[in-house]
Amino acid sequence: MIARKRDGLRLEDHEIAWFVEGAGRGTLPPEQLAALLMAICIRGMDAGETRCLTREMLRSGEIWELASLRPDAVDKHSTGGVGDTVSLVFAPLLASVGVPVAMMAGRGLGHSQGTIDKLESIPGFRTGWDRDGMLGLLDRCGAAVVAQSDAIAPADRTLYALRDVTATVPSLPLIVGSIMSKKLALGAGTLVLDVKWGSGAFRKTVPEAVELAAALRDVARDAGMACEALITDMNEPLGPALGNACEVREALAVLEGGGDARLREVTLALATEALVLRDHDRDEAAASLERALADGSAREAWDRFVRAHGGDPDPALLESPARTVAVTAPRGGVVSAVDGEALGWVAVDLGAGRRRRDDRLDHAAGLLVHGRIGDEVAEGQPLATLLLGRREVDVPPLVERVREAFVLGDEAPAQGRLVLGTVESAGG
């Protein structure tokens, strides 16, 4: 199978089923699983192979079918980027306007930090819940964000970890199979997708993002889910914080009615789309979400959300960096580009993510981004700040990598829309 896919040939359904079963049960060695993942990443899969992969990964574990018991519950997924703190705002925000949110989220993958890792930086916050536990969370606080259960798509659990450390994350069929096997296993009736494009995303161009969004949306709709996908810009970090505890703090700023404008815009766009999928009027939906941020309802929903998951919502208890290091502009100019992926890897190497599967996270570590595309900066002005935690790191090379991620020009570049729209309106 490895040799045939390496040579660009198609895999049969029974072969894909055998591969998935071997991954789920641990009967295939990781070096062979990794080799086939690389062959798939390079050679791809056709639509039929991708559907089969998704179906077999779904069947490898439990199927919760939440829609049968909580038909109003909404699920949300982002294809990953840097500074993408949306899920931490999205869940309590929708809960604050009476729409339950049920999400099975992931840990950090590649250069992007994961929702589960961020939530676990909150003291006491539990992410390991079974189906009954998730239903209880929905009843208590209207929002449940849980880690992938060992019983849900166990094959994906193995393959996901291997993809993270074998440079096979960007593969479209592997992304579709991984995301949709978990979403279909969870079985919420409504799903909204945030598909990123740009330098900090796994899909670098708009056509690539549209292709992925269409593939994900088609699988969801074929399974009977109400689903929409938005294409959003990731040519620079979405929010200013890259890490775990620092991203929780940034989420709180938005939930309190302030925070970063870009993070707020994308979150509101996705939350509005979710309400529209639940048959709300678009204008009324947007207005109700804005009110929840302004009047404190969303912040109160966050506290209920954290307590229901066993955590303490006091932000003073979040880990803080031992020290900080400013990265300054080498000259004056206008920020014309930011390499988000490079910054994401810096955050990983500071301790906010993993290079190896057994790496321990440093919740205090991360990166704060100050320079945004279009900003005029003076020589010596901070472009970013390194947040140093417990991990021993070689600071000078990290400072240089951050500085190189910012391109300074003499004129402000043309900037496109942050939210491009759906598959159709973004050019699909």
Residues annotated as part of the active site: 77, 156, 163, 178, 182
* Residue partners of 365: CB distance under 8 A and separation at least 6: 243, 244, 321, 347, 350, 351, 352, 387, 388, 389, 390, 391
246 within 8 A of 347, measured Cβ to Cβ = no
Q: Which two tokens stand for residue 131?
A: 């189906």
C-alpha distance across the termini of the chain, in Å: 33
The rounded distance, in Å, linking the Cα atoms of 278 and 74 is: 9
138 within 8 A of 189, measured Cβ to Cβ = no
200 within 8 A of 164, measured Cβ to Cβ = no
Q: Which two tokens stand for residue 377?
A: 């900066």
- Residue 56, amino acid: E
Q: What is the DSSP string of 174-237?
A: HHHHHHHHHHHHHT-SEEEEEEEESTTSSS-SHHHHHHHHHHHHHHHHHTT-EEEEEEEE-SS-
DSSP type of residue 349: I
For 11, 15, 23, the CA distances from 3, given in Å and listed in that order, are: 11, 13, 18
* Residue 313, helix vs strand vs coil: coil
CA dihedral 217, 222, 227, 231 (to 10 degrees): 10
- Residue 251, amino acid: A
The rounded distance, in Å, linking the Cα atoms of 342 and 349 is: 11
Closest C-alpha among 258, 217, 233 to residue 84: 233
Closest C-alpha among 45, 65, 61, 34 to residue 5: 45
The rounded distance, in Å, linking the Cα atoms of 27 and 4 is: 21
Q: Which two tokens stand for residue 13?
A: 């359904």
